[in-house]
Amino acid sequence: MLAKRIIPCLDIKDGTTVKGINFVNLRDAGDPVELGIKYSEEGADELVFLDITATHEGRKTFTDLVKRIALNISIPFTVGGGINELSDVERLLNAGADKISVNSTAIRNPQIINDIALNFGSQVCVCAIDARFDGNKWMCYTSGGRNLTDKELFLWAKEAEERGAGEILFTSMNHDGVKQGFANDALKHLSESLNIPIIASGGAGTMEHFKDTFEEGKADAALAASVFHFGEIAIKDLKDYLRNEGINVR
């Protein structure tokens, strides 16, 4: 079995790391370059950088900031936000990103997944999906959780895989920032129905939540933000805990 990955996430707004609850009420979480260095040194397996207002504001991701982070870290680096065409992918890869995350653009123009996979390889393409459970089914949202779409989570994730996505990064909007655990039932369904890695996002509050998403949710990686940014959980302590619980981590 592949080792499970621990991934801190930098949600960037106006060049600063922020964190909210259920995608709203954002607060400052620190300098993204300093946080990136810290997580790289602490043993994070990867780093995700999401420019969360780029799509909504109709602009490109902060390339200079991506460059500065990439120069200072030694772990795989995924970048997303405001990616609309292949030239954006190329620009960010040239700036130091290892993978590109597409979300809103992929829903509006699914062909971009095929194009990224064809031109740069499936391993570069992470399809991020923000979805909310409405009491009946999981529906996908775009523009940082602002706009409801007609895409259903499991059908869209399957289509993304078929188009060439190398990973699915699923964020439960219901669980985001609430710190009550990940959406493990939905994650388990994704893991069992797809053949590509699933990254769990939204809901980390304790070390047990990471254990649960690996065991119950069958997630391949767990992404979190505030518990790392605000010093509630140290990555080394988390990995030691998971190893003691019999979970294979890097």
pLDDT tens track for 125-146: 999 999 999 989 999 999 878 8
pLDDT of residue 38: 93
The CATH number linked to 47 is 3.20.20.70
Output the CA torsion 16→53→72→78 (10° steps). Answer: 150
Backbone Cα Rg of the chain: 16
Q: Which residue numbers in the chain have pLDDT < 70? A: 1, 19-30, 52-61
Vertex 214, ends 157 and 173: CA angle to 5°?
50
- Domain limits for position 82: 5-244
Residue 250 domain-assigned? no
- The tokens for 212 are 């649960």
Residue 9 domain-assigned? yes
Residue 159 domain-assigned? yes
pLDDT of residue 245: 98
Residue 249 domain-assigned? no
Q: Which residues contact 110 (CB under 8 A, 6 or more apart)?
A: 159, 160, 163
Split into its structural domains, the chain has a count of 1
Distance CA 121, CA 109 (A): 18
| C-alpha closest to that of 81 among 19, 129, 39, 143 | 143
Which H helix or E strand runs over 11?
A: strand 5-13
Distance CA 183, CA 199 (A): 11
Q: Which residues does the annotation mark as catalytic?
A: 11, 130
pLDDT tens track for 206-248: 999 999 999 999 999 999 988 998 889 999 999 999 999 999 9
Residue 50 domain-assigned? yes
Residue 138 domain-assigned? yes
Residue 188 domain-assigned? yes
The structure's pTM equals 0.92
Residue 99 domain-assigned? yes
